[in-house]
Amino acid sequence: MPRFALTLEFDGTPFMGLQRQAHGPSVQQAVEEAVLAITGEDVRMHAAGRTDTGVHALAMRAHVDVAKDIAPFRLMEGVNARLRPRPVAVTACHIVPGDWHARFSCLGRAYVYRIVNRRAPLTLDANRAWQLAHPLDAAAMHRAAQHLVGLHDFTTFRSAHCQAQSPVKTLDRLDVERAGEDVRIHAEARSFLHHQIRSMVGCLALVGMGRWDPDDLRRALEARDRQALGLNAPPEGLYFVKAVYPDE
């Protein structure tokens, strides 16, 4: 049975997350229902990540197995037609080997978190960034972020509902940059704990506002205690931007 790799772009605002939920709409449900309408097949979509309610994606990778004889372009066009008007789109589709898996073949994941640092209300960026009115020192945030790069026990930055077997992760990148009123935090790792990025961003924001210094962030990490967390950033500023696979 052919396996189709999909690249998905979506606005997470109306969804309860990527993964199917019993209590509300999900990206997975939307895509699976669209494939069913096109092929008549009840498929299961597997994705590289599991985004929370309100989290967005620029290039989430996923796959479905479809028995119907259909070209990747036709499948993409048909699914996109069925997805409207929901804010989900398949931006690329191709056939991959049967042992390729969107989640288990993935070697790395990259996210970006957007903060709009201004007092005026958000209009175009409403539900697509975290607005902070207090001036942020992005350089101080970047310096503090380097305490978190590398192999650490991230218990402090882990949701109480996290299902990962271990809180130990290797964070490959955590960079903070400013472009005008936009402050962006880039995070890369093989995998992340539930809420890890939002928790790190929340604490970096405290550094940027001058309420914490970089050593406070280091001490929070070393505490290995969720009670040491200063702030958990909201979901609307978080975007899944890239999944890395062998030979890509």
| R_g of the chain, CA atoms, integer Å | 19
Query: Alpha-carbon torsion 148, 154, 157, 158, what sign?
Result: positive
Which position has the token pair 């990540």? 49
Catalytic residue among 42, 52, 153, 175: 52
- Confirm if 199 and 233 have CB atoms less than 8 A apart: yes
Q: What are φ and ψ of residue 89, in 5° steps?
A: -140, 140
- The yes-or-no answer on residue 42 being catalytic is no
Task: Report which secondary-structure segment, H or E, holds 10.
Answer: strand 3-10
Spatial CA neighbour of 62 closest among 2, 132, 6 = 6
d(CA 18, CA 29): 8
For residue 37, the number of C-alpha atoms closer than 13 Å in the C-beta half-sphere is 15
**CA dist., res. 227 & res. 229, Å (int):** 5
52 forms bridges with which residues in the sheet?
A: 17
Cβ neighbours, 10 Å, residue 111: 25
Region of 224 please: left (phi>0), alpha (psi -120 to 50) or beta.
left
- Catalytic residue numbers read 52
